[in-house]
Structure 1
Amino acid sequence: MKTTRFAFVVATLLCAACCLSDASAQEEKWTSLFDGKTMDGWEKVGRDDSKWEVKDGALTGTGAASMLVNTKGPYKNFRYRAEVKINDGGNSGLYFRTTRKPGFTDGYEAQIDSTHTDPIRTGSIYGMCHVYKQHVKPDTWFTYDLEVRDDVWRGREVTRIKVTVDGNELYEYLDFDKTFKEGHFAFQQHDPGSVVNIRKVEVMPLAD
């Protein structure tokens, strides 16, 4: 009886250790794309009077329209997360599967907008799935978490985009057109009235 009980305890401890090991391995798959200090790995694409800089440990966009594009990649299937803050009346976007050329048209855009005159709010995939409810107040840090992967649904190829804001999963959008195949990550500086701040930018590649 004692031997059986001892064996059970050992097995339980080993199982717990394996679970902790698996959790640690999962966490190690996240790769940081921003060091919190420099613009290394990022390039501005757009107007000269648009400004991107590091302030108080965050990427900060001000001025005229531009994109701040990450030079790593391209990425296809992944989880991607970042902490974001947008000012009152501001507008920005978190782009994925995008190119490194000027303009706001290439790539999927996860909208960043709490009170801008454009009523399409944070949590939207712009032009595809729109959210009109305010989930985040302006001038407030929140976490954007996206899971993007190509899949097959009922015999049809599809790109799945799962959108989570501050731990609340809003929806999973199915893009049967598979509009954008792969690409880089980027942030949008929308207009001179917008100020966007980004920190803790991380990606976890997923298997194809």
Structure 2
Amino acid sequence: MKALPAFALSMIFMGTAINTHASDNQLSEQEQQQGWQLLFDGKSLSHWRNYQQQDISPKWQIQDNAITLTEGGAGDIVTRQQYNNFELKLDWKISEAGNSGIFFLADETGKYVFSHAPEIQIIDNEKHADSKLDTHRSGSLYDMVAAPETAYKPAGEWNTVTISLNNDVLQVWQNGVMTVHIVMHSSTWDKLVAASKFANWQGFAEQPQGHIGLQDHGDKVWFKNIKIRELH
């Protein structure tokens, strides 16, 4: 076997120097150039507040380098800023038999964060009873579009989600698997809404922009590497 040149050996032992991936809750140089912004830097919850409030419950804490719902009763939280066309990335981890969700286009005219906001489901597919419905499984557009089982990792493991909304084209990937691809407000969309629990929810998904939301469903859940870029 031919010996490696000295420069090659130095590249191997300096792997961190040539790694293009950022550490948790940081942006790589490439992400910064692409216009990504952090919604959580691992140190502060300043980008977040409780739904219809200006502060955030102390039950939402920073633990294990992640935004953590430590116990139920904290309330759902939303970003301080609103977005219309965007790409959102985050990592989530759910507790055993747990349930949560990621909302987008959330306004604050309804009683609840989910009154008008579509949801990407977070759940323990294996042990939570709600996951018996395929449109309620992890990575699904809740109660509308079912995610493939191959997109899911078990409770206690980190899942990576990307949500892209651009001129009503909604695309979602979980763990590299596309789980949703639909044009909002198209005839297909309208049929899915009509067949869902949202059929008679006035104002559902009609707002042109809104907040990103994270759900308190009473179960412990973790979020990290939350980043967003606006699409123009």
Taking structure 2 as the reference length, the TM-score comes to 0.67
Tell me, what secondary structure is at the counterpart of 2:30? helix
Which residue is equivalent to 1:114? 124
Query: Equivalent residues in 2 for 1:1-208 (5 A)?
Result: 24=30, 27-45=33-51, 51-61=59-69, 62-64=71-73, 66-72=75-81, 74-100=82-108, 102-103=111-112, 104-115=114-125, 116-119=128-131, 120-131=136-147, 133=149, 135-150=152-167, 159-175=168-184, 176=186, 179-191=206-218, 194-207=219-232
Report the alpha carbon displacement of residue 27 of structure 1 after superposing the two structures with TM: 4.7
Q: Which segment drifts farther, 44-53 or 109-118?
A: 44-53
Report the alpha carbon displacement of residue 65 of structure 1 after superposing the two structures with TM: 6.2
Tell me, what secondary structure is at the counterpart of 1:35? coil
Which residue is equivalent to 1:3? none
2:154 is aligned with what amino acid? K
> Per-residue displacement from partner, 1:119-154 (whole Å, max 9, x unpaired)?
21111111321337362211111111011111xxxx
Unaligned 5+ segments in structure 1 are 1-22, 151-158
Bigger CA radius of gyration: 1
Structure 1 Cα separation of the partners of residues 104 and 93 of structure 2 = 18
Structure 2 Cα separation of the partners of residues 91 and 143 of structure 1 = 16
Identity of aligned residues (%): 28
Q: Which segment drifts farther, 27-36 or 39-48?
A: 39-48
CA RMSD in angstroms, aligned pairs only: 2.6
Tell me if the contact between 1:49 and 1:63 (Cα under 8 Å) persists in the aligned partners: no
Structure 2 Cα separation of the partners of residues 205 and 188 of structure 1 = 22
Structure 1 Cα separation of the partners of residues 222 and 47 of structure 2 = 17
Task: Count residues in correspondence.
Answer: 174
Unaligned 5+ segments in structure 2 are 1-28, 191-204
Tell me if the contact between 1:43 and 1:69 (Cα under 8 Å) persists in the aligned partners: yes
Taking structure 1 as the reference length, the TM-score comes to 0.74
Structure 2 Cα separation of the partners of residues 94 and 55 of structure 1 = 19
Structure 2 Cα separation of the partners of residues 65 and 25 of structure 1 = 32
Describe the shift of the 1:69–1:25 C-alpha distance in structure 2 as closer, same or farther (beyond 3 A).
Answer: closer
Report the alpha carbon displacement of residue 171 of structure 1 after superposing the two structures with TM: 3.3
Structure 1 Cα separation of the partners of residues 129 and 171 of structure 2 = 26
Tell me if the contact between 2:93 and 2:221 (Cα under 8 Å) persists in the aligned partners: yes
Report the alpha carbon displacement of residue 28 of structure 1 after superposing the two structures with TM: 3.4
2:119 is aligned with what amino acid? E
Structure 2 Cα separation of the partners of residues 140 and 26 of structure 1 = 27
